[in-house]
Structures are given as C-alpha cells and as structure tokens.
C-alpha cells in the first residue's frame, strides 16, 4: 500500500454535507473489474453536463463551469476540503479509488461515514478529522486566497496553514502506523495465523454448525 507521511498541496472544495459515495463515483463506473482509472469520473454527475459512460473518453465532455473543482484555481488540488458525514452510503471502495486516482492525497472534513473512512486507509488516502469551526476557518481562508495550500504531517498529526494555524487531529494508532509505513495489512494479519487457527479449533468444538455447511 502507498505510504503517507507528510503532504503539502493545493486545497480544493466540496462544500456540502452528507456527500454520498454515489455522488463521489456513480454506479455505472462500478462495472469495471479494475482498481484504477476512476479519476476522470470522480463526482461525474456534478462535474459534467452530460451522463458519463464507463470506458468513454472524458476529455471532450461538456464540463459544468459552476462545479468548483472545474475552476482553474483548483486545478491540481491534492487536498479535498469537505463537510460533515463525507462518504456516506454505499461501501464502494471505488470512492477512495476515484479520489486517489484524481490526485487527492488527503481529505479534511468534520466527520466521515464509517465504511468510507475505513476504506481510505487501505489506499494511502488520509481522511483528516478537524472540528467544524476549524473546517470553517479553512474554507474561509481558501475562499480568500488563490493557490491556497495546506501542510499535513501524519506523524505529528497536524494540519498547518501558512497563516500560522496548527490544527491537531486524532486517529487510531494502528491505522497511523499502517499508513506511515505503507504496510500490507493482510501480511500483518497472516503473521497471526497461529492465533486464527487456535480460535477456529476452539470455535469448531463449541459451534460446529458454523463450519462445513456450505459446499
């Protein structure tokens, strides 16, 4: 997995609450059996004026000029500034895949839906949780300043503005370690193979009906 240590980058906005994963990547693109290539269809229904089709070239599609991320000043944004309950709805991991493929390395929001939050860590995408007041400050600064950039330090768990704000954020130690080192979680779990087998042996004695029924 891709590691995340520190990142400095341009901030782009998604200024609405409860952004769902259908909005992040609409269902027709879920027909793909690949993990990559979802970036051009990130926020497809908001971003373009026509209806996107899987596999179609997006370079000549009519874009929605009112969608902020289409504006020149946000071109190349790598930090998405968002509102509360970001990523609600479907469990589709295509949502973080699309954000990452578009070029985002981190999302900053006051809260996330649980499954989306979890999925981000599997893909080197850092979901930062700040308070609503802190997010308001960042939105205000971004609105006021062209080329607005932020610095994120995962080890220190801070988001730093050029104006001198240093906002701390919390996350689980395990997730932090995996992301900092880009660890393969499956490989880590397989190091516990003996404990898993011991659990299974014990469980098969206590609850034998859980095993063997499906063939």
**Nearest distance from residue 69's CB to another protein, in Å?**
16
Query: Which residues are at the interface with another protein (CB under 8 A)?
Result: 16-18, 20, 22-23, 26-28, 30-35, 45, 51, 54-55, 83-85, 88-93, 96, 111, 113-115, 118-119, 122-123, 172-175, 177, 184-186, 188-190, 192-193, 195-196, 199-200, 203, 206-215
DSSP state letters, the chain = -----EEEEEEEEE--SS-BHHHHS-GGGGG---SS--GGGTTHHHHBSS---TT---TTSPB-TTSGGGSGGGTT--EEEE-TTBTBS---THHHHHHHHHT--EEEES-B-HHHHHHHHTTT-EEEE--HHHHHHHHHHHHH-TT-EEEEETTTTEEEETTS-EEE----HHHHHHHHHT--HHHHHHTTHHHHHHHHHHHHHH-GGGSS---
Closer Cβ to another protein, 55 or 147, answer by number: 55
Could you tell me the smallest distance in angstroms from the CB atom of residue 12 to another protein? Answer: 19
Nearer to another protein, 162 or 174 (CB): 174
For another protein, the closer CB: 3 or 196: 196
CB of 156 to another protein, least distance (A): 18
> Closer CB to another protein, residue 164 or residue 212?
212
């Amino acid at each position: 997995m891709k590691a995340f240590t520190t990142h400095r980058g341009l901030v782009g906005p998604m200024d609405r609450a409860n952004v769902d994963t259908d909005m992040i990547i609409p269902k027709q693109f879920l027909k793909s059996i690949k993990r990559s290539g979802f970036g051009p269809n990130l926020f497809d229904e908001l971003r373009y004026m026509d209806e996107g089709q899987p596999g179609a070239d997006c370079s000549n599609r009519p874009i929605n000029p009112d969608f902020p991320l289409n504006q020149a000043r946000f071109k190349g944004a790598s930090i998405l500034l968002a509102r509360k309950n970001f990523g609600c709805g479907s469990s589709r991991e295509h949502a973080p895949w699309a954000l990452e493929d578009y070029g985002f390395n981190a999302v900053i929001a006051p809260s996330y839906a649980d499954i989306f939050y979890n999925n981000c860590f599997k893909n080197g995408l850092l979901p930062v949780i700040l308070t609503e007041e802190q997010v308001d400050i960042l939105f205000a600064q971004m609105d006021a300043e062209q080329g607005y950039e932020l610095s994120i330090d995962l080890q220190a768990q801070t988001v730093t503005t050029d104006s001198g704000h240093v906002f701390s954020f919390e996350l689980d130690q395990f997730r932090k370690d995996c992301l900092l080192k880009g660890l393969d979680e499956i490989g880590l779990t397989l190091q516990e193979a003996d404990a898993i087998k011991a659990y299974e042996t014990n469980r098969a004695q206590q609850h034998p009906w859980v095993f063997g029924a499906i063939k």
